[in-house]
Amino acid sequence: MNGPVSEIILSAQDVAKRFDTQAGTLELFSNISLQIQRGETVAITGPSGAGKSTLLSLLAGLDLATEGSITIAGQATHQLDEKARAELRSRHISFVFQTFHLLPELNALENVILPLEIRGTTDAPDKARSWLQQVGLGERLDHHPAELSGGEQQRVAIARAFATEPDLLFADEPTGNLDEHTGEAIIEQLFQLNRDQNTTLVLITHDNHLAARCDRRLHLHNGELKERRTAGALHD
């Protein structure tokens, strides 16, 4: 579905983030610029504490940069108030978390239905069911998170993330809580759906192997963001 004209879905221009702490001002990074096109898969790697999660929260419009500007689907986040940013997120963005964050009292199907219902989508149950089938859990619809393995829970989370048909999907260490084999399968799933849906995927990972499979790989270290060539890019 990639059109000939590549569309910039997410861009950052000279972004800096500083925190005021008791020990003085802490600058996590500065002068970060990047452009991500629709349908790309981007890995952000870097040592623990480098500021990956912070960067992700800026790119997802959850927080505002100290300097510079971030544009999501054509809208500059710093020009929007909290409410408008929440709307922007709700229209364009989904998240996948390291610890899944399913609602324990809802079964798999209900967990996937929830974001659809929040948006008032019609035939939410049908859509949710089909998403769960796509991640291979068509037989486990009425199972509660406690009855599912870690990998299965993350699949439900992935189905939930894709169900709202987002333009951008952010994942913070989605395989961090899974064993290697399961993580592999989950990633496979994620990439597959990403291709099918033409979603843009931004994921934080420690896993070099996983990072290597992405179209682009950005390494955050000492406040600088550097682009590295990846195997995924070679495929193109």
Partner 1 sequence: MTNHSLLKLAWQQTLAANRLPIWRALLLALTVAISIATLLAVLGDRLEQSLGRQTAELLGADMTLRSGRPIDPAIAERARSLGLETSGVIQFPTMIEAGDNLLLISLRVVEAPYPLRGKIVTQPTLPHLPEPGTLWAEPSVLERLNLKVGDQIELGYTTFTVAAQLTSTPDRGNGFSTFSPQVIINRQDLTATKLLGVGSRARYRQLFAGEPQALKQLEARIRASMASDERLITLDNSNNNINSSALNNASRYLRLGALLTLLISALTIALSLRRYTLNSRDRAAVLLSLGMTARQLQILFLLQLLLAWVACALVGTGIALLLEQFALVLLSDLLPQPVPLAQPVFYGLGALLGLVSLITLGLPPMVAMSQVSVMYLFRRTAAPTTLGGRVLQLVAGVLLTGLLMLYLEDLQLTLILIGALLITAWVLGKFGAWLLRISAFALAGKHTLVRLLRLRIQQQQRWHRMQIPVISLLLALMAISLWARSDLMERWQNQLPDDAPNHFLINIQPHERDGVDQVLDNYQLNSSLYPMIRGRISALNGEPVATAFTPEQRQHNALNRELNLSWTSEMPGHNRLVAGRWSPQADGDTAYISVEQAFANTLGLKLGDTLSFTVGSFPVDGVITSVRAVQWESFQPNFYVIFTPGALDNMPMSYITSFHAEGEQRKVAAALLQRFPTITLIDIDQLLAQARSLIGKLSDTSGMVMLLTLLAGLILVFTTLSQELDQRRYENALLHTLGATPQQCRQLDLLEFALLGLVCGGLAAALGEIALWFIHQRLVLIEPVLHPSNWVLLPLTATALFTLTGLLARRRVDESNSYRLLRTLS
Ligand X SMILES: Nc1ncnc2c1ncn2[C@@H]1O[C@H](COP(=O)(O)OP(=O)(O)O)[C@@H](O)[C@H]1O
Site of interaction with ligand X (CB under 6 A): 19, 21, 26, 28, 46, 48-54
Which of Mg ion, ligand X, partner 1, none is residue 184 near (CB under 5 to 8 Å by kind)? none
91 token code pair: 């229209």
The closest of 227, 157, 146 to 193, measured between CA atoms, is 157
Which DSSP category does 7 fall into?
P
Whole-angstrom distance, CA of residue 206 vs CA of residue 208: 6
Question: Of 178 and 204, which has the nearer Cβ to ligand X?
Answer: 204
Compute the distance between CA of residue 125 and CA of residue 130 in angstroms, rounded to an integer: 9
Does residue number 90 form part of the binding site for Mg ion (CB under 5 A)?
A: no
Residue 188: count of CB within 10 angstroms of its CB: 11
Task: Choose the one of Mg ion, ligand X, partner 1, none that binds residue 70, judging by a C-beta under 5 to 8 angstroms depending on kind.
Answer: none
Phi, psi of 52 (to 5 degrees): -60, -50
Residue 177 engages Mg ion in binding (rule: CB under 5 A): no
Among 13, 37, 53, 90, binds Mg ion (CB under 5 A): 53
Spatial distance between the Cα atoms of 226 and 24, rounded to a whole number of angstroms: 27
**226 touches partner 1 (CB under 8 A):** no
Q: What binding mask, one character per residue, do residues 165-204 give for partner 1 by CB under 8 A, x or -?
A: -------x--------------------------------
Q: 53 or 177, CB closer to Mg ion? A: 53
- Backbone angles phi and psi of 8, in degrees to 5: -80, 115
The one of partner 1, ligand X, Mg ion, none whose footprint includes residue 114, by CB under 5 to 8 A per kind, is partner 1
